[in-house]
Structure formats: C-alpha cells, structure tokens
C-alpha cells in the first residue's frame, strides 16, 4: 500500500510538470503535453543560453563622512549648515573626512542585437547594475534601528566601468546608451571581435498574459557563473512587476526571464529580473589593525566602526513585465538609430 501511494504521488507530479498550470491561456507552459524535463525543452534551453551574458560593473566612490560638534552629548543644530548640524571643525579639521570606496556589481543580460560588420553587441540588462545613483546618503539610526535626519556619510559616484562576459572568461568594455531608472531597464553596447554569444532569435512574449501559477525560467550570473533556475509566478506588491518563486541570489539582476510557448518547445522572452529581496545586516568591525581576542582600551574603541552587509532573502525574485519592456524599446528607438543599431521589429511590435 505504501509503495502504491508513492507511485500515485509520482504520477501526479509528472502530470503537474507536463501541464504546468496550462489553463487554456497563452501564458504558462505548454498544454500539448510537452514535459519541462523533455529533451526538446533541454535543447531549447541550451540554445537560448547562448544569448545570455554576464554583466560586471566596477564603481568608484568619493565618500564624505561627517564629524559633528557635540555639547553635553547632543548634536548642535545649525539651520545654515547643509547637513542641519554644526560640524566639528576644531584642530584644523573641516569636520568632513573625505575618503574613497569601491564596489562591484554583477548580473546578467540578454543579447538583443549583433552587428557582424561592426562587431557590436547590443545587450538588455538592469539599470541599477550599470547606472547607479550619482549620490547615496547614509543616515544614523536611532535606538529602534530607524533612520534619523543626521547624515552619516555621502557617497558620490566618481567612475563606473562596465564589462561584459560571454561563454569564455574574456571581458569586453561596454557603454550605457539608454536606460529607464524607474522600471530598472537599460541597454548597453560593446564592440569586440571575440564571440560573446548570439542574438536572441525567438519571439518576444508581449502578448503573454502571465499570472498566478505560470512557470518561467530565469538566467543569471551569481558569482560570475551563468546559472539557470525556474519557478511559479505570483503577483508582486510592486508596480509593473511580477514575482516568481525561485532559488535566486545576488547576480541574477538583469537576467532574462523566459516562458515556454503554448504549442512548441520554444522559449519566449517575457521579462527582465529586477531585484532579489534582501535585508541589511549591521555589525561592529575593527579597522584591520586591532588584534583578535584582545581587550580594547578606550582609545581603541574609537577605531571600531559599523559595517553593513546585504543578506539575500532566498526564494523570491521580481521581474519587469514584458509590456513595460515593449514601451521602453519604443521610447528608446531614436537612441538606437542614433547609435547605428537596428533592432528586429519584434522588440517594438511583438
């Protein structure tokens, strides 16, 4: 009896994978009985993967850290100060410590055009990967962990360097030509005689009515390695996006999302991974000169500082709806023409 129960359970799972929420809609996996585990689907995944590349951005910051004047343990307000409080400018110190910082970001992208004559690749990716905010402010937190109005530091972007990685370890420099910061969409171009991949040849699923229970595939580049995952779609709490229950982590941003056609083993482009939920983890860290397991003196305590680390909430990713990407392409069409890029009409009409 126990063995029969297991067989029935296995049979139900096979049916589920074969139908994958096929409800007579154009969205979702095929209704003609093609399993997600079939060789046809695996071969299609291998073909489409050749259009997925890795994006790497190196960002240099100029950092302004503020040292405030205190009286009786309280900051002194100053309405004439741009930061709202008086800075401690004693002993020849301006009250502002200027340093530098460096951050690297990685994610995925989709080759949407290749000009063989010019050896130019046009790639769709996430805006936050290749065009970070010019200025980022960090504020002190109160006893409850909530931000105050006291500015701790200001990060100003000094330089952004973008590179693209294909099937090999070769990296090619790239430039941003069009972007939509609101919906987190960007297009970059790179010129190289080294083969990075091939332009995406399948249909763009602008007409797909993606909804609860539809299955999608996601590509990304976590830790610089191309990887594939998949999951069920659900509604997202954010405008113009959908949520997918999938095993994702940092490095999937900018990666393409694909859904199977309803009548054949073809993967259609249906979205762009926007973000992975995360939390901020804060901890006290030494400056690198203090010994481990050593009782700190009063002066040495001053050399401690707060570090922040982003922690991924595994299991969910958000991606931009295909219809929003279509609007982006139409608005950016003149930019493509000015850069000598002729995209396939499928990206504008669908």
Helix/strand/coil for 49: helix
The H-or-E segment that residue 244 falls in is strand 241-245
Give the span between the Cα atoms of 339 and 242, in whole angstroms.
31
Averaged pLDDT for residues 263-288? 71
How do strand 227-235 and strand 241-245 relate by DSSP bridges? antiparallel
Query: Cβ(22)–Cβ(29) under 8 Å?
Result: yes
Q: Any idea where the domains of the chain sit in the sequence?
A: 20-277+313-347
Encode pLDDT of 244-261 as tens digits: 988 777 789 999 999 998
DSSP 155: E
pLDDT band at 25 (very low <50, low <70, confident <90, very high): very low
Encode pLDDT of 174-218 as tens digits: 999 999 999 999 999 999 999 999 999 999 999 998 999 899 999
- pLDDT over threshold 80, residue 3: no
pLDDT band at 4 (very low <50, low <70, confident <90, very high): very low
Q: Return the structure tokens found at 315.
A: 């299991």
CA-derived radius of gyration, the chain: 25
Give the span between the Cα atoms of 257 and 272, in whole angstroms.
6
Give the span between the Cα atoms of 69 and 87, in whole angstroms.
5
CATH fold, domain 20-277+313-347, is Thrombin, subunit H (2.40.10)
The H-or-E segment that residue 200 falls in is none
pLDDT value, residue 20: 44
Handedness of CA 42, 46, 51, 56 (dihedral sign): positive
242: closest CA among 147, 172, 317? 317
Residue with tokens 């009548």: 263
pLDDT value, residue 264: 84
CA angle 176, 181, 185 (to 5 degrees): 60
Pick 124 or 168 by higher pLDDT: 124
Encode pLDDT of 322-335 as tens digits: 999 999 999 999 99
Pick 151 or 15 by higher pLDDT: 151
């Amino acid at each position: 009896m126990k063995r029969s129960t297991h067989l029935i359970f296995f049979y139900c799972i096979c049916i589920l994978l074969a139908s994958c929420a096929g409800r007579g809609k154009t969205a979702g996996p095929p209704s003609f009985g093609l399993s997600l585990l079939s060789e046809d689907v695996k071969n299609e995944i291998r073909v489409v993967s050749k259009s997925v590349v890795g994006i790497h951005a190196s960002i240099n910051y100029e950092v302004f850290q503020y040292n405030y004047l205190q009286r009786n343990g309280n900051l002194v307000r100053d309405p004439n100060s741009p930061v709202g409080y008086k800075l401690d400018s004693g002993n020849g110190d301006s009250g502002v410590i200027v340093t530098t910082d460096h951050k690297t970001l990685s994610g995925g992208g989709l080759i949407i055009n290749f000009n063989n004559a010019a050896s130019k690749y046009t790639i769709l990716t996430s805006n936050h990967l290749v065009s970070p905010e010019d200025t980022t402010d960090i504020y002190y937190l109160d006893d409850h962990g909530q931000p105050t109005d006291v500015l701790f530091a200001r990060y100003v972007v000094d330089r952004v360097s973008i590179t693209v990685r294909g099937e090999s370890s070769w990296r090619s420099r790239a430039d941003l030509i069009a972007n939509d910061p609101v919906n987190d969409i960007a297009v970059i171009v790179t010129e190289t005689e080294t083969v990075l991949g091939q332009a995406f040849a399948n249909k763009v699923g602008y007409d797909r009515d993606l909804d609860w229970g539809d299955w999608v595939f996601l590509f990304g580049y976590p830790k610089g390695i191309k990887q594939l995952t998949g999951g069920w779609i659900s509604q997202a709490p954010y405008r113009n996006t959908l949520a997918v229950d999938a095993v994702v982590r940092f490095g999937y941003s900018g990666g393409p999302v694909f859904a199977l056609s309803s009548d054949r083993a073809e993967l259609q482009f249906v979205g762009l991974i926007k973000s992975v939920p995360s939390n901020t983890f804060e901890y006290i860290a030494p400056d690198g000169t203090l010994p481990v397991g050593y009782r700190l003196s009063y002066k040495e305590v001053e050399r401690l500082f707060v570090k922040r680390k982003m922690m991924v909430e595994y299991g969910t990713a958000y991606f931009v709806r295909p219809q929003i990407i279509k609007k982006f392409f139409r608005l950016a069409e003149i930019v493509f023409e000015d850069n000598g890029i002729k995209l396939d009409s499928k990206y504008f009409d669908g």
